[in-house]
Amino acid sequence: MDKRIDTSYRHIGRIVAPVLVSTASYTAMGVIDTMMVGRLGVLELGAVGLGNLLTWWFLSFFFGLITVVNTFVAQAYGADDKRAVGAALWQGIFMAIGAGFLILLCWFVMPAIFALTRAEPGLQQTALAYSQIRILGAFGLTFLAVADNFYRGLGRTDIPMWSAWIQLALNCGFNYLFIFGKFGMPAMGAEGAALGTIIAQMVVGAGLMASIFVSRRWRTEFQLFQTWGLDWKLLRSMIGVSLPIGIQFFMEMGGIALFSAVVARLGTAEMAASNAVIQAWSVAFMLGVALAVGATTLVGQCLGARQLTDARRAVARLWNIGLVLTALCSIIYVGFPEALMRAFVKAEEVDQLLHYASPLFLVVCVCLLLDLRFNLISGALRGAGDTTYSMLVNVGSAWLVFVPLTVWASARWGLVGAWWCFVVHLTVMVIFLEARYRGTKWIHMVWKDVEAGADGADAEGLGGVEAGVAAESEPTRVTAS
């Protein structure tokens, strides 16, 4: 029997608040890395920024693949199909194992990729060393992602929240040891930041995954031992839904990586200032990502329970929450740019870098609103399994608009010109995703597609959802009450 999904502000808060806290902790890891490494000098600060972005370029494809666990678990849980929840978890684990081995292979191609940036030799060498260490933590990341998305699909976002804070504490401690060489450890500088991150990631990834199987409740309720094994039909369906997400993440991060390479060519100071602003921006950006996770979970659960009106209502209410948070962040960015920069760089270097950073904070404020809308709609579509359209829009805008525009604008207007390209890129994506969301073609039931043999969304496969679209298409366009 299908369950009724609650989309009240109170329930949305219970789901989103832990995600906000956990994403804040993940953001804090990058911020703290930057703050610690920034004490070493401008070169190290710029190198970690470049290395981190290029590392995520390699990782983003596989990370995107695994997010599909959230979609399948959420829809199965919303439909009260407990066995399907367990089956989706196991296929996610098998995906994580394969992804881990493929990520390790990226280690060998990284030198060639970094050489293409044509950054200053010292910056390039330090960034490469940082990234190659990060890649070695592949399995920690993939298993952490599976467990995290499993709990999010259930709406139990509080569990990943606590694991994220544990990871933050471990990351800070290991960074302190390895960056500065404390308590007999070697002083590794920027490489120490990478080592501290992957150790914390592996410990928490193993612990979070183990928590699923240690819990008698989860083992019994979702029949984890009975659903063990490869289900090729389900795995193919999950990969079919997740492949566009992985491609979208990879191509988008590729565009951002190219952006960083272009900025790195402008100079070490420009790269350091840009990295500091990106880290400050990441705090507000991750708020939008957290709300998108809420959209994926709630839309998936609502569609599983065939509550079409509530799916849109949840997104509208998430938008209202996001507007308040975005306004607060914008006030901080506009009002206190110097204070923000002092958190990332040496005192004697603030004046030098603030010259480059101040106008970038204004660009960030414009991007925040566009980011919020893009993330929410993208998250909603992901909860419905409608991933191909988002991928085409994102990749098309990134490589047909953002990348060529960045190269052209940076040559004419320098760092500020390159940054304004973010605004153009986000505007294009929001326009196309908004058009999709206002219609009904994005509404899918991924589990019905599996039952139909993964042949696509036929009339029978979509069942009650498709049948209800015509009747509810007008009422579903609601505003938050």
Q: Is the pLDDT of residue 372 over 60?
A: yes
User: Does residue 409 register a pLDDT over 50?
Assistant: yes
Closest CA to 287 of 336, 329, 332, 341: 329
Indicate the DSSP class of residue 215: -
Q: Give the predicted TM-score (pTM) of the model.
A: 0.73
In 3-state terms, what secondary structure has residue 205?
Answer: helix
**pLDDT exceeds 80 at position 146:** yes
Give me the chain's average pLDDT, please: 85
Helices (H), 157-307: 158-180, 190-214, 216-221, 232-266, 268-304
pLDDT of residue 253: 80
Give the pLDDT score at 455: 44
- The amino acid present at 87, given as its one-letter code, is A
Task: Please report where in the chains the tokens 């930057």 appear, as a residue.
Answer: 34
Neighbour-count burial for 60-75, b at 16+ CB within 10 Å, e otherwise: bbbbbbbbbbbbbbbb
pLDDT computed for residue 150 by the predictor: 95
> In 3-state terms, the chain is what percent helix, strand and coil (to 5)?
85, 0, 15
Of residues 178, 196, 184, the one with CA closest to residue 140: 196
Mean pLDDT of 310-314: 92
Query: Which token pair is 158?
Result: 């509080």
Is the separation of the CB atoms in 281 and 30 below 8 Å? no
The tens digit of pLDDT for each residue in 27-68 reads 667 667 777 887 787 788 778 877 877 888 888 899 889 999
Q: What angle do CA 287, 424, 50 make, to 5 degrees?
A: 65
Q: Is the pLDDT of residue 478 over 50?
A: no
Q: CB within 8 A of 396, min separation 6: which ones?
A: none
The single residue listed with the structure tokens 């599976």 is: 146
What gap in Å lies between CA 383 and CA 451, rounded to an integer? 18
**Could you read off the pLDDT of 417-431 as tens digits, one per residue?**
999 999 999 999 999
Task: Please give the Cα distance from 71 to 299 (Å, whole number).
Answer: 9
Tell me the mean pLDDT in the region 111-125.
82
Tens digits of residue pLDDT in 168-186: 899 889 988 998 888 888 8
pLDDT class of 364 with cuts at 50, 70, 90 = very high
User: What radius of gyration, in Å, describes the C-alpha atoms of the chain?
Assistant: 22
Whether 447 shows a pLDDT value over 70: the answer reads no
Taking 70 as the threshold, does the pLDDT of residue 457 lie above it? Answer: no
pLDDT band at 460 (very low <50, low <70, confident <90, very high): very low
| pLDDT level of residue 454 (50, 70, 90 thresholds) | very low
In the DSSP assignment, the letter for residue 440 is S
3-state secondary structure of 343: coil
Residues 232-274: tens digit of each pLDDT: 999 999 999 889 988 988 888 888 878 888 888 888 888 888 8
d(CA 363, CA 284): 13
Instruction: Work out the number of other CB atoms within 10 angstroms of the CB of residue 174.
Output: 20
Task: Report pLDDT for 26.
Answer: 67
Per the model's pLDDT, the better-predicted residue between 368 and 447 turns out to be 368
* Cα atoms in the Cβ-side hemisphere of radius 13 Å centred on 399: 14
**Which of the residue ranges 25-34, 106-115, 210-219, 280-289 has the most confident prediction, judged by mean pLDDT?**
210-219
pLDDT at 367: 94
